[in-house]
Structure 1
Amino acid sequence: MASLDTARPVSVRPAVPRTYLFWLVGTRASLFGDAVLYFALGWAASAHGGGTGALVLTAITVPRTVLLLLGGAVGDRFGARRVMITCDVVMLTATLVLALVGWRSGASPWFLVMVAVVIGTVDAFYLPATGSMPRRLVGKEQLPRALAMQQAGSQIVSLLGAPVGAVLVASAGLTGAALADAVTFAVVLVVLVRVRPAFDVERLPPGQGLVAGAVDGVRIAVGDPVMRPALLLTAAAAGFLLPVISLLNPLLAREHGWSAGVAGLVAGGQSVGMITVALVVSRRGTMARIGRGAALGLCVAAPGIAAVALADEAAVAVAVFGGFVVGAGSGLFACHIGPLVLTGVPDTHLARMQALLVLVQSLALVVGNNVLGALADAQGATLAAAVCAGGACAAGIAGLVLRPIRRLRRS
């Protein structure tokens, strides 16, 4: 008769808590609603001209960028869950008002700008809070798999959000899109009321002001030997990888004589690559040397960028495969840099580090888009893509060489 201690093997990798899965489904539903609403806002603004469309996008970006660090300090002071519930109530109200105004009188340009300002302001407080929630819901040993699941869900939402938004706007207009987003906010509000963090983290001291707390978060990040290079790698990924997907892909398609359908296939390949890697990591976990995994992701993406840039009109399959490789490298980077940051900072600074991470990404993306766009206009999109490939590869090699990154192991 077998003894009790050998009758059934004990799993060495505990399952991700159901509480986290419940939270993940709710927040991805809300993210899907946001993708639909963003498409609807852009479509409604475009009816008033390109200037209005640009103004609406700017009205989202500026308050989000300016208030991010303050939003992180608020999340660390009052708790991420409380901040998310407050932001969710504000957005639920805003989307219902938008639906009502759009139904009764149509959305004027200035009303669209006001809605955009509300969205950008709420994002500044919501993004750091929701970015820190996985650390509050799962243990450090489960965090990489949990974040990979989050990454996969986000990519699926991004892949489906715009097409569904287009169908919804065509059938029900801005009012229908706003109501759909309001429903998702109601769903996530129920989720947040029921979900409570399983891991208590120390909050920002009440005696420290919010502005001082935000500054302290920057000081910690700049002085930390792991966070400093991690933020630099994040800036490199935002500056060299994200413009390939959003900016250079359509420019390369026009330069190579591809149709819009081919450009969509390349973009789809990128999304599939990211989803595939995220699902693998969610199942098997990250590399043991988690810093090396993040740096390796940049190195993997570089040849994919080169393949898309050099593929001619007849080599559509090469371009689609290159897009898949770009997405796989991007996913590998994202699935390793996320847990690296969340496990490498003090618990008192979780939301502030997420705010700084988003801020670094946003600033690097703004600079990258403008510089690469100007270079593409002057010398062609192929050269701009070659710069991205070289920059991503150089940043990845630097990450593999830097001791604080390459020697960092997962928890």
Structure 2
Amino acid sequence: MATTDVPPRTLPRPYLAWLCGVTVSQLGGAVLAFALGWAAAGLGGTTAALVLTLGALPRLVLLVVGGAVSDRVGARRILIAGETSLLALTAVLAVALARFGTPTWLLLASSLALGAITAFCLPSTGSMPRRLVRDDQLTRALALRQVTSQAVLMAAAPLGGVLVGRVGLPMIGWGAAVALGVSLCVLVAVRELSGPTSDRGLADRTSTAWLGLSDTFRVVTSTPGLGRALLLAGAGAALILPVPSLLVPLLGRSSGWGAGTTGVVAGAIGAGVIGAASLAARRRAPGARWATATTGLALSAAGASVLLVGAVTVGTGADATAAVGALVFGFGNGVFVARMAPLVLGSAPRTHLARVQAVVGLVQLVPVMVMNLVLGALAERTSSYWAVAVTCVSLGMCALLARRRRPATTSARS
């Protein structure tokens, strides 16, 4: 009887267990981050900005280092050590919050320490899906992770707001520690990364430098299709990520939406992302990834255009139009990420999985930081409407250029 190479419907249990554990940990961390940010905001805008900056700053240095160490030592070992350190640090923070309250020095120190450990572990976390699932299941596995990550982002702020008022920061810190404990137990239990996805024996020993940092960029530029995929991922992140975090609040202020309507519009973006990721997670045989990713950018451009129309329109139905545009924008974002993530991770050599994930973080982080500054300055000097209009045009041009410059090779490398 002839057999067909069809991916199994159910993802491997080790991956599903790991995903549950990491989701619990992310939720605890996101709620704690919201609580610390809320406390910092009460001390003034400068303190709040410093807390955010110190939390993100270690990524510029530690992402690539963490990726190099992960590929040499093993992603699971790094994650166990990292989450153990985070658990201890979070417990100490909970005790310190109960003892000292929320002085500026404590908020700044905790943000820097938590950000440093998290940044070091991010490449290992990003590489785990390919270590735990077959290549033909990678798109579904990453799409399911995108669903859970977006759900955490949507739930963290309202949950954190409720908990800050009812239980206080020290108990939120202990809750985050418990969540890390759950994730750590799961990591210890998932002992075998069986089959070809195992990271045992895959450490790269060819580089003369211990960390092989220069070798990371050599692999990125020499692997067929990987360089262009990373370039598109960075460009897409720079144009997409500032919309919900920066431009939607600015539009809300300019259009007089109020906090409620602005929250609905931002939530519609998240709902669109979850919808697209859920569809990708249900498909057993995904289609062409590059072409679909560029379609996602085009959908995001169209959605942002409708969002802009709703923002500038006065009268009945304007808010609904903005929400629909936000939903379409989020769906396009979800389509883009659901295709680009497996394309990048699937193209990476197995000896460099974590290091490639570190480069992914860098090519997204730096352009987003620059675009936030550019769009913020543009909105201040002209208006938020012009900033969104520039984003719409840029997304459309990026989609068109990417469609015309599709890499010749985009298949996963073993």
The TM-score with structure 2 as length reference comes to: 0.93
* Partner Cα distance (2:290, 2:375) in 1: 28
Deviates more, 1:92-101 or 1:285-294: 285-294
Q: CA deviation at 1:390?
A: 1.1
Q: CA deviation at 1:270?
A: 0.6
Structure 1 stretches of 4+ moved >2 Å? 9-13, 206-211, 222-225, 407-411
- Which residues in structure 2 correspond to 1:188-337 (within 5 Å)? 188-196=183-191, 197-198=193-194, 199-201=197-199, 202-205=202-205, 208-211=208-211, 213-285=212-284, 287-311=286-310, 312-314=313-315, 315-337=318-340
Q: CA deviation at 1:243?
A: 0.6
> Could you say if the C-alpha distance between residues 255 and 207 of structure 1 is closer, same or farther in structure 2, counting changes exceeding 3 Å?
closer
Q: Equivalent residue for 1:160? A: 155
Is residue 337 of structure 2 the alignment partner of residue 342 of structure 1? no
Calculate the aligned-residue CA RMSD, in Å. 1.8
* Partner Cα distance (1:121, 1:44) in 2: 20
Contact persistence 2:6–2:285 (CA under 8 A): no
Q: CA deviation at 1:362?
A: 0.6
Is residue 92 of structure 2 the alignment partner of residue 93 of structure 1? no
2:132 to 106, 129, 137: 137
Is residue 126 of structure 2 the alignment partner of residue 126 of structure 1? no
Is residue 31 of structure 2 the alignment partner of residue 36 of structure 1? yes
* Partner Cα distance (2:157, 2:230) in 1: 30
* Partner Cα distance (1:145, 1:308) in 2: 29
Contact persistence 1:71–1:126 (CA under 8 A): yes
Size of the aligned set, in residue pairs, is: 403
Contact persistence 1:288–1:410 (CA under 8 A): no
Q: Which amino acid aligns with 2:304?
A: I
Q: Equivalent residue for 2:173? A: 178
Q: Which amino acid aligns with 2:147?
A: A
Deviates more, 1:328-337 or 1:222-231: 222-231
Q: Deviations over 1:365-390 (max 9, x none)?
A: 10010000000011111111111111
Contact persistence 1:151–1:275 (CA under 8 A): yes
* Partner Cα distance (1:154, 1:187) in 2: 17
Q: CA deviation at 1:323?
A: 0.5
Structure 1: any 5+ residue segments left out of the alignment? none
2:7 to 1, 13, 19: 13
Contact persistence 1:52–1:109 (CA under 8 A): yes
Structure 2: any 5+ residue segments left out of the alignment? none
Q: Equivalent residue for 2:364? A: 361
Q: Deviations over 1:336-365 (max 9, x none)?
A: 111101111110110001000011111011
Q: Equivalent residue for 1:81? A: 76
The TM-score with structure 1 as length reference comes to: 0.94
Q: Which amino acid aligns with 2:274?
A: I
Q: Equivalent residue for 1:112? A: 107
Calculate percent identity across the aligned residue pairs: 42
3-state SS of the aligned residue for 1:142? helix
Contact persistence 1:290–1:409 (CA under 8 A): no
Q: CA deviation at 1:209?
A: 2.9
Contact persistence 2:347–2:411 (CA under 8 A): no
